[in-house]
Structure 1
Amino acid sequence: MTAVRVLILGVVAGLSSFGVDFYLPATKALALSFDSEVSAAGLNVSLFFLGIAVGQFIGGALSDAFGRKKLLVVALLVFIVASISQIFSSTLGLFIALRSIQGVAGGALAVVVTAIICDENDVRGTAKLLSQTTVISIGMRFIAPMLAGYLVAFVDWHALPAIVSILSIACLIFVLFHIDETLPAAKRRRRSLVHSLQDIWMILCNSRTRIFIAIEMCCSVGLFAFVTGSAHHFIENYLLSSTEFGYVYSGFTVVLLVAVFSNQWLVTKFGIALMMRSSIPVQLFFASALIFTARFFEPVLWLHITLLAGYLASAFIIRLNATAAAVKSIPEVQGTAASIISTISFGVGGLIGVQMTLLSGVTTYALEYLIFASSVFLFLYFLLCLRSRAFNQ
């Protein structure tokens, strides 16, 4: 796969995550513009997440039935129309509805990109290219809040959907001319709802796929706990200002980039199996160190950040490789498999967000407890799976 195609697919896949972080700084401006509460304006992000989950759930099956490129083009068109329409929204309700539609399209885009990569590569190549597209997505997320904050402060919130519209139109043009169909008509599976449900059941009944989905879920618990709880954790427990927290969060983004680059090289050299065997114990070490130092030593900020960075890097590497292995385990329905995994991941993320809110009111160690619990469960499950032929295939 050429560098241009990887770049295009990375940006297309990153539109959904970009659509989350890019709109966050505009929450207060939206509330003022529509004369509503800030909490009500924040629903645009919540429903965008819900839209992503729906798009990921249906996107894989539709791409298996009608082809990758067709769905990619249709989803981009929907994303563009929803983005442009937001500029002319007259009420907050209409804006939120358009954001949810935008999320559905963004979720479908992410799943189809994964399916395209899987179509053209073996397990090792899939993991490597998923790492490369993830680098691009993380880079977009790193830039998004800073750029959005500048636009909201010096222009207006209307500039945000305008920028997103321009970016998605550029993606559509490049997709039309540089991305080929990777699923021939002879291999497509146009299925009824009953048959689609049968495909989902087949995926969940595949022992190898089920193992790696479970591993991915365990990593998602810790990663989403960090995303949803890190602001409260650092600002309340370590008394950081919002600006200081922004620098810390950007630093963690850099850590994830380093982890992705490292995974590209390590997977190519050693393969997914060895990466999983080594990364899972490393993850448990950092999770254990986090909870131990937090409970008994009240560590200084730099030590806590170092341990948390080690956990995030190892968990992210495990999640990337588990996703690649799970999708490649069902070659007949890779698109559906990719959508199921992504939907489960976002479902776990939503539940963890609620759990973080509940636990934060009870203990100051909510983040550490969730990370440690998920890491211990993953390690025990990993030991159990080591004897399984499905894991070692």
Structure 2
Amino acid sequence: MNFRSILILGALSAFGPLAIDFYLPAFPAMALAFGTDEQHVQMTLAAYFLGLSIGQLAYGPVADRFGRRIPLLTGVGLFTAASLACAFAPNLEWLIGARFIQALGGCAGMVIARAVVSDKCDAVGSAKVFSQLMLVMGLAPILAPMLGGLLVNTTGWQSIFLVLTFFSALVGLAVALGLPESMPAHVPRQPLSGALRQYGRLLADPVFLGHALTGGIAIAGMFAYIAGSPFVFIKLYGVPPEHFGWLFGANAAGFILVAQVNARMLAKRGPAFLLTRTVWIYVGAGLALLAVTSMHTEQLWPLLIPLFICISSLGCILPNASACAMNGQGARAGSASAMLGCLQFSVAAGAAALVAVLHDGSAVPMALVISLCGILVVSVAMLTRRLQNARALVQAQV
């Protein structure tokens, strides 16, 4: 794939993290503006996660039936309109609804970006491109909270959504002018009537399901961090909103660095091998984070070290899990990408909501959810690896 296509796909993949990370520093200001508390403002985050999980199921079959460009442009247009609606939300209920619709548009880029990569690359090539996309989209969680904190303090939280409106419109123009149809002409177009059948086959495939859940549970841990970090950093440890982005960006930088190391390591080891090794780092760091937060230390830095390792390890886990799940999907790549994203963000929405439910005025709920995700990730990844090896053995005998 050429650099221009990767850049556009990276921008499309960045819709998710931008729409999430950009407004995190604004939680206290939004709670004040709507006369509520930050726990209720977190519902806008849960609504976005829910929209991401539901919307992806629709885009997959549509992308397999009509190609990649039409649903992609439709989704970007919907994201742009909903972002504008968020900026002028008169109350919290309006904002929650607009965020849900914004997610329905934004998930088009996430689904179809994976499908485009699958159209063009094999398993190892896909893992490399996914790692490169992590570099492009990884700039979002570094820059977004910093810019978001600056905008909140200077022009108000509404300006965050106006910037998202402008960005998405610009990306839509780039897609229209610079991203050609990637679905091969010889690949049969899948009828929409067979969507449920395709999803049923994917859910009945234990190897696909295992890899999808491995990535999904890992993302759930990351979203528990995203949901809990504004309270932990800003409220609990007194980090100014304009400095929140530096801490958030440091973890994102670790994520990007590991993703690029992963891309180089793929030349010697396959994505499945690297995936089953990295999950142990993730669970170890998650349990260390839980131990530190349980001590209720007054200093922030002991918490930051295991948190950095945990988030950084996702730079290897996520691209490899996605590549393994998408490998060999062929004509149903759109549906496979949609189911992959739906499973990932359904689990993530639950994790974000769980952090809010367990809220006790400390960092323990965030760390507890992350560590539980780590334990589940290791369990699912190891079981999937055994199933994959057993399937390969059977195919070799046949």
Q: What is the TM-score when the length of structure 2 is the normalising length?
A: 0.84
1:174 is aligned to 2:166: no
Gaps of 5+ in 2: 393-398
Residue in 1 that maps onto 2:395: none
Partners of 1:293 and 1:299 within 8 A in 2: no
For residue 358 of structure 2, give the secondary structure of its aligned residue in structure 1: helix
Distance across 2 between alignment mates of 1:88 and 1:299: 39
Bigger mean CA deviation after superposition, 130-139 or 38-47: 38-47
Distance across 2 between alignment mates of 1:185 and 1:223: 38
Paired residues for 1:262-281 under 5 Å: 262-281=261-280
Distance across 2 between alignment mates of 1:355 and 1:48: 15
Partners of 2:41 and 2:92 within 8 A in 1: yes
For residue 115 of structure 1, report the CA deviation from its aligned partner: 0.8
Paired residues for 1:200-211 under 5 Å: 200-211=199-210
Pairwise CA RMSD of aligned residues? Answer: 3.2
Residue in 1 that maps onto 2:224: 225
Gaps of 5+ in 1: none
Bigger mean CA deviation after superposition, 381-390 or 123-132: 381-390
Distance across 1 between alignment mates of 2:294 and 2:50: 35
Sort the Cα spacing of 1:156 and 1:264 in 2 relative to 1 into closer, same or farther, 3 A: same
Paired residues for 1:242-257 under 5 Å: 242-243=240-241, 246-257=245-256
Residue in 2 that maps onto 1:9: 9
Sort the Cα spacing of 1:277 and 1:97 in 2 relative to 1 into closer, same or farther, 3 A: closer
For residue 325 of structure 1, give the secondary structure of its aligned residue in structure 2: helix
User: Aligned residues, how many?
Assistant: 390
For residue 162 of structure 1, report the CA deviation from its aligned partner: 3.3
Aligned letter for 2:239? Answer: S
Sort the Cα spacing of 1:154 and 1:230 in 2 relative to 1 into closer, same or farther, 3 A: closer
For residue 301 of structure 1, report the CA deviation from its aligned partner: 4.5
Sort the Cα spacing of 1:146 and 1:64 in 2 relative to 1 into closer, same or farther, 3 A: same
Sort the Cα spacing of 1:360 and 1:77 in 2 relative to 1 into closer, same or farther, 3 A: closer
Distance across 2 between alignment mates of 1:222 and 1:331: 30
Aligned letter for 2:71? Answer: L
Residue in 2 that maps onto 1:67: 67
Partners of 2:62 and 2:192 within 8 A in 1: no
Identity %: 24
Residue in 1 that maps onto 2:149: 149
Residue in 2 that maps onto 1:55: 55
Aligned letter for 2:177? Answer: F
Bigger mean CA deviation after superposition, 226-235 or 162-171: 226-235
For residue 191 of structure 2, give the secondary structure of its aligned residue in structure 1: coil
Paired residues for 1:64-213 under 5 Å: 64-85=64-85, 94=94, 96-193=96-193, 195-213=194-212
1:241 is aligned to 2:236: no
Sort the Cα spacing of 1:221 and 1:85 in 2 relative to 1 into closer, same or farther, 3 A: closer
Distance across 2 between alignment mates of 1:294 and 1:92: 31
For residue 7 of structure 1, report the CA deviation from its aligned partner: 0.9
Distance across 1 between alignment mates of 2:131 and 2:42: 31
For residue 119 of structure 1, report the CA deviation from its aligned partner: 0.8
Distance across 1 between alignment mates of 2:124 and 2:74: 30
Partners of 2:53 and 2:345 within 8 A in 1: yes
Distance across 2 between alignment mates of 1:305 and 1:372: 15
For residue 343 of structure 2, give the secondary structure of its aligned residue in structure 1: helix
Sort the Cα spacing of 1:381 and 1:93 in 2 relative to 1 into closer, same or farther, 3 A: closer
Sort the Cα spacing of 1:196 and 1:324 in 2 relative to 1 into closer, same or farther, 3 A: same
Sort the Cα spacing of 1:252 and 1:167 in 2 relative to 1 into closer, same or farther, 3 A: same
User: Over residues 101-123 of structure 1, what are the superposed CA-to-partner deviations in whole Å (9 max), with x where a residue is unaligned?
Assistant: 22211012211111111110111
Q: What is the TM-score when the length of structure 1 is the normalising length?
A: 0.85
Partners of 1:59 and 1:339 within 8 A in 2: yes
Partners of 1:128 and 1:268 within 8 A in 2: no
